[in-house]
Structure 1
Amino acid sequence: MKKILFGAIGIVALGLSAPASAADLAARPYTKAPAPMVATIYDWSGFYIGINGGGGSSHKCWDFVAPTTGTLFGEGCHNATGGTVGGQIGYRWQSANWVFGLEGQGNWADFSGDNVSTLIPTQRNRSKIDAFGLITGQVGYAWNNVLFYVKGGGAVVADKFNIYTAPGFAGAGTLLASASDNRWGGTVGAGLEFGFAPNWSVGVEYDHIFLGSRTLTLNAPGGTAFQTDRISQNVDMGLVRVNYRWGGPVIAKY
């Protein structure tokens, strides 16, 4: 009888204690799924404006044109060198890694040089570029915020040409004749640009301008024709550029 009683009591106690043990179990904590990785991809698309500065050299050769026959006689060559500063404005659009653009650029310049004429030793031929402008298209390839591009298009250069009395002769440095010329040509170049902030970039660029040859009549200070020369020239420049672009990086998830 006692065994039966104690057995019943044990079964009741076990039944009462089981729910309490389940209640004492801690709830399983909720773990949030990891957020997807996000990468910032630099976007070169948009309008931009900037400044540039650097140096350049224009190689010029003068040929005297005989008044009656038009025969050319070489007078020698010189390099007109100096500095330049200016600005550019343009628009770029990006497709995958390829970047396409259009740009207009205008610069003040002081590329000057001279040589004593090998044909007429009493004369010194001097040239100077005061300004130039470029209108170009661009094709580039971007590695995120690094852009390499090539460019090409048209160019115009403002030239001044002067003839002075050569050193060592009476009246050395006296202006004998002059002419001004706005010459059109073509240009090609290449650049490397680095985006250091969402809207800012800095880069370096090389440009070559093809200007060919042109025959000019240089006039004496009184306005009478003094001498006719065929003058050929090309320009090489290295520039540092800083641009501000309207737009910003896009966010790509992967």
Structure 2
Amino acid sequence: MVRPPHTNATVLGITGTAHAQTDWIASVTGRIGWAVDRWFIYAKGGAAWAGDRYSADVPIFVEHIEANETRPGWTVGGGVEWAFSQNWSAKLEYDFYDFGTRSVTFTGTIFGVPEVVPGINIKETISTVKFGINYRFVP
């Protein structure tokens, strides 16, 4: 889970808070690289998806709205992998994810009355660093 960012904004003396949270990221990628002895240096890219939740609150209006979605996007990255024994390797990798800008419709309540707020544009990019240990099953 990615730590939820939030922002406060004041318009005409009215303050509200917006939150965004990415619960999961999935990708399907391919990688290509250069192998030397026990080292593999590579670049990778492919398709990506993110599970996001958004919410906003304006306390003076007793307003709470929220939305969630699965966003499609793309990813590129690169890394280095080291085979430290016959079946084991370790890798360090950087990945950049871009999910573009999407128009999201929020639903919720204002003064206890149901409301729909369409057309809120949300841009999303994510950077990650991964460390992994791999085991290869060799016959």
Question: TM-score under structure 1 normalisation?
Answer: 0.49
* Residues 1-254 of structure 1 mapped to structure 2, 5 A cutoff: 109-117=1-9, 119=11, 121-165=14-58, 170=60, 176-220=64-108, 224-226=115-117, 228-247=119-138
Cα deviation for residue 137 of structure 1 reads 0.7
> Tell me, which stretches of 5 or more residues in structure 2 are unaligned?
none
- Report the 3-state secondary structure (helix = DSSP H, G, I; strand = E; otherwise coil) of the residue aligned with 1:247: coil
Cα deviation for residue 110 of structure 1 reads 2.5
Cα deviation for residue 231 of structure 1 reads 0.5
Measure the CA separation in 1 of the matches of 2:31 and 2:81.
13
Amino acid at match of 1:160: R
Return the index of the structure with the highest Cα Rg.
Answer: 1
Amino acid at match of 2:8: V
- Report the 3-state secondary structure (helix = DSSP H, G, I; strand = E; otherwise coil) of the residue aligned with 1:148: strand
Change (3 A) 1:136 1:118: farther
Greater per-residue helix proportion: 1
Change (3 A) 1:247 1:175: farther
Measure the CA separation in 2 of the matches of 1:164 and 1:132.
26
What RMSD in Å do the two structures reach over aligned CA positions?
Answer: 2.2
Identity %: 26
Measure the CA separation in 2 of the matches of 1:199 and 1:183.
36
1:111 and 1:130 in contact (8 A); partners too? no
Cα deviation for residue 117 of structure 1 reads 2.7
Cα deviation for residue 118 of structure 1 reads 5.2
Change (3 A) 1:223 1:136: farther
Does 1 or 2 have the higher relative contact order (CA < 8 Å, sep 6+)? 1
1:215 and 1:230 in contact (8 A); partners too? yes
Measure the CA separation in 1 of the matches of 2:89 and 2:101.
37
Cα deviation for residue 143 of structure 1 reads 1.1
Q: Deviations over 1:167-218 (max 9, x none)?
A: xx658xx761000010000100001111111111111100000111000111
Measure the CA separation in 2 of the matches of 1:138 and 1:119.
47
Measure the CA separation in 1 of the matches of 2:4 and 2:68.
14
Greater per-residue strand proportion: 2
Question: TM-score under structure 2 normalisation?
Answer: 0.87
Change (3 A) 1:223 1:157: farther
Q: Give the total of aligned pairs.
A: 135
Change (3 A) 1:138 1:230: same
Runs of at least 4 residues of structure 1 off by over 4 A? 118-121
